[in-house]
A = this chain, B = another copy of it.
C-alpha cells in the first residue's frame, strides 16, 4: 500500500469568509463589533516588559490558575469546578472525548452547531440527531426518558450523553432555565453538556445548576460576548468530579495548550465586568432595533437571544441565497447555509448600530 493510501482523508470545514478588504461590513462569523475590555490592552503592554516577555521561555502554567481563579470569582464557583481551553471548540472536543466515548449514542439537535457530528465521527461516538420542531424549537420532551427519548434511541440502548447549545445556533432560540433543568434532572445517568456560547446576549444560563447536578457541564467562550475570538479562550464549569475527569483526559496527552498571553489577557477581560455588561447590553439593544426593521421589511425569524438573527427574506420577494449574493455585492457579508430546512435563512451577526443601519438600507434597496 502506498503512503497516500494510508492517509486519513477529511473535508475541511469552510468558515465564513474573512475578507482582507476593509470596506466590507463583516457580519458573517458572529464576532463582536466592539474591542475587548481596555484591560486587555494594558495586559499586553505589561507582557511586553523586559521581565514579563522573558517568561515566554518557560512553559505556561498548565492549570492557567490565574484565569481559572478570575472565572471562579466571577461565577461564584470553586476553581476546581473550572476547565479552560483553546477556545470552546477545544473544550467541547475534549468533553466529547471524556464523557461520550462509552459506546452509547449521544443525542443532539438535527439543526445545531456543525462540529458536534464531526467530533462524534472523529472519536467514533455513535450519535442520534433529534429533529427540532417546525418552528426550530428544541422540545424538552424529546430528551426525557418519560417523554420521547426512547423513540430516538436504538432498541436496548440508553443515552450515552446529551449536548445542545442554549441558545441554539444558527437559530438563535433560547430555552428557559426550567426547561433545560428538566432535561438535566431526567438524565442523571449521563453527562449533559449545555453549550452556552451565546448565553450572555439575554438568555438564561444554567451555570448555577452545576452546584446542584454533578452530571451537568456548562461550556462558554470568550469569542462572542468578551470580544476575544482572536485570543482563543473557552471554558467549562461543572462539578469537581466532572472537571477532574476532564482534566485527567486532557493532561494525559497534552500538558500545555493555552499560552501565557491568553492566560494574562483572558484574566484582564474577566476582571472588567462593567465593560462586559456594557457591550452585551449594547448588542442586545441593537439586535432588538434590527429585529423591528427586519419585521417592517417583511422578514420572518425565530426570536433570537444571541448576537445574530436568523432571518428569512419575504418569501414572495427574494430567496435567501439571492439576498446573500446581493448583500455581498454591496460589501456586506452575512452567512448563508445551503442545507435542508435552513436554506431559506440568512444568519446575520449583530454589529454596531451604524453597521446595522447600513444593512437595513442595503436590504431596502435590494428589495425595492
Contact = CB atoms under 8 A, between A and B. Distances in A.
B86 A241 contact: no
A248 to B, nearest CB: 5
Contacts of A101: 8
A56 B228 contact: yes
Contacts of A328: none
B229 A56 contact: yes
Interface string A119-148: 100100000000000000000000000000
Contact of A230 (B13, B49, B59): B59
Interface string A163-207: 000000000000000000000000011110000000000000000
Contacts of A58: 18, 26, 31, 229-230
A123 to B, nearest CB: 9
Contacts of A35: 50, 53-54, 56-57
Contact of A191 (B6, B223, B231, B254): B6
Nearest to A250: B12
Contacts of A9: 245, 248
Interface string A62-105: 10000000000000000000000011011001000111011010
A259 B245 contact: no
Contacts of A18: 58-59, 61-62
A255 B13 contact: yes
A41 interface: yes
A247 interface: yes
A118 B54 CA distance: 31
A282 B298 CA distance: 71
A231 to B, nearest CB: 5
A2 B104 CA distance: 12
A333 B291 CA distance: 61
Contact of A188 (B3, B229, B245): B3
Nearest to A232: B259
Contacts of A97: 8
Given A2-B188, A57-B229, 7 more contacts: A10-B253, A11-B248, A13-B251, A29-B59, A56-B228, A56-B265, A87-B257
Q: Which 6 A-B pairs have the closest CB atoms?
A: A12-B251, A35-B54, A44-B48, A230-B260, A45-B48, A10-B252
